[in-house]
Structure 1
């Protein structure tokens, strides 16, 4: 999972809340057919530059036709390193995890997930490396970063392996920079849902969460729904 700083521990989070992953896992798995799950949080690269997170979480540059009033103009030059990031996950990080922990390394037991830009790169990774991932969690995807590139990527790449997709969005995913951000996020999630449902081997579970914001507290509440889809 991406944005690892925000998953487990408030003391290292860059926001006021975290996903409370340990509590969610401990509550879920006693009622599951599985014994448990290993969740690896990958810290984002925000400490390496103001838009390094966006650089890593998108394989394409930002679509500058979507205005972001009030943002630093340098955001228009962000994105484009996502493929390198996925290569690191698959060929360096996963190899280390499988060598040092008691994993089931096959694709049927490997998932990738994230929120916002983390959702964006998760979906890209799951489609690009179908040989590695069989499940993907797409929370509040920031499709606005480059909607046409992602939708074209889905259309141009046949999903030949079974892929389970948890996709969701809240109705109040907003930002002070654009009053229409709630509609933008909902529209983006619905576009992804339509596009993915055209693929033959995709099982998709889509949720629209009334009143939910673009926040770790909202994703923490919804995280068990992904666990239920993947591990029940």
Structure 2
């Protein structure tokens, strides 16, 4: 689709609220919509956790830049705001961590599938999307991965920025073993191979912790081990898995904002 410099695509922002029965709270959604979207062209959907950070992640700016250089297909972004329940709603569904965080992750998954997606269809008038991706940062990234992994009938791509793949069932002082990482174990124990593609990002300055004293920070070790588990399932790089390791990248919004255009190009390449 050709766009001249005289008619640049802009992003319209809409703030909507869902009264969620499942989460027993009002959930704010920021919708980012291409202003001059040609309805004859298929529209894609991106769900984004931690939607309260959508401005800090510079998503609108990334979308406009990529649209106007013809690098991505039209995307509707639904950014889901978290609140003080974040540490309970996020995580791995049915698998709270060793501090009993993530007790509402199963409810959050149900909210996304049973309340949010119908709400998006109803409020946008779009009955079906060409593709549906899910993304998140840190613990929101782990959550996006978990939901996409378990619901590949809905999601075909997932993007994880500095994901909390350390999420574990035992504390480091409780006889912890690498097998106690919950998502790695979930991948191993899943029968079959969900039809999902994966985009993972870490930064070399995500943290300083190094559990196994191998000279590699945990966030990188944990992400690489996720990739190894996926490869054992039969996924291949780069066809199914893309990995971005950002030199100097930190566990912060400026780093993830810098990575956002790379993810969007991968997920919705024109």
Query: TM-score normalised by the shorter chain: which range applies?
Result: 0.7 to 0.9
List structure 1 runs of 4+ shifted beyond 3 angstroms: 31-35, 158-161, 178-182
- The reply to whether residue 184 of structure 1 matches residue 218 of structure 2 is yes
Deviation at 1:53, TM superposition (A): 1.2
Aligned residues: 202
CA RMSD of aligned residues (A): 2.0
Deviation at 1:198, TM superposition (A): 2.2
Higher relative strand content: 2
TM-score (norm 2): 0.69
Alignment of 1:67-86 (within 5 A): 76-86=99-109
TM-score (norm 1): 0.80
Deviation at 1:100, TM superposition (A): 1.6
In structure 2, relative to structure 1, the CA distance for the partners of 1:102 and 1:24 (3 Å cut) is farther
Deviation at 1:192, TM superposition (A): 0.9
Structure whose alpha-carbon radius of gyration is higher? 2
| Deviation readout 1:166-192 (Å, 9 max, x if unpaired) | 101000012xxx644871111111111
Unaligned 5+ residue runs, structure 2? 1-47, 169-179
Deviation at 1:200, TM superposition (A): 3.0
Alignment of 1:1-232 (within 5 A): 1-8=48-55, 18-32=56-70, 35-46=73-84, 52-58=85-91, 59=93, 60-63=95-98, 76-103=99-126, 105-106=128-129, 109-146=131-168, 148-158=181-191, 160-174=193-207, 179-180=209-210, 183-200=217-234, 203-232=240-269
Deviation at 1:201, TM superposition (A): 5.2
In structure 2, relative to structure 1, the CA distance for the partners of 1:144 and 1:35 (3 Å cut) is closer
In structure 2, relative to structure 1, the CA distance for the partners of 1:218 and 1:78 (3 Å cut) is same
Distance 1:165 1:104 in 2: 25
Distance 2:196 2:88 in 1: 26
Unaligned 5+ residue runs, structure 1? 9-17, 47-51, 64-75
